[in-house]
Amino acid sequence: MNDKIKTTRKNFLRWSGLAFVGGLLVAGKKAAGPETPNADANSLQQLAETSRVRSARNIVVRESV
């Protein structure tokens, strides 16, 4: 019965502090709302597609021979 690991005040405060901070992080994530990773990916994809489009200024149409 004496072979159990005894909890010291320092260890108790450390573990309770870590649990408290972890609870705050979880609560903060839930309060922020659901994440939408697809919205960021879609906006980046649209920017990439529009950057490849060139304007039609000063273009000479070749006549077919």
| One pLDDT digit (tens) per residue for the chain, 65 residues | 566 777 799 999 999 999 999 999 888 877 766 655 555 666 667 666 766 666 677 777 777 76
Task: Give dist(CA 14, CA 10) in Å, integer.
Answer: 6
Residue 20 has what pLDDT? Answer: 94
CA distance 44 to 22: 32
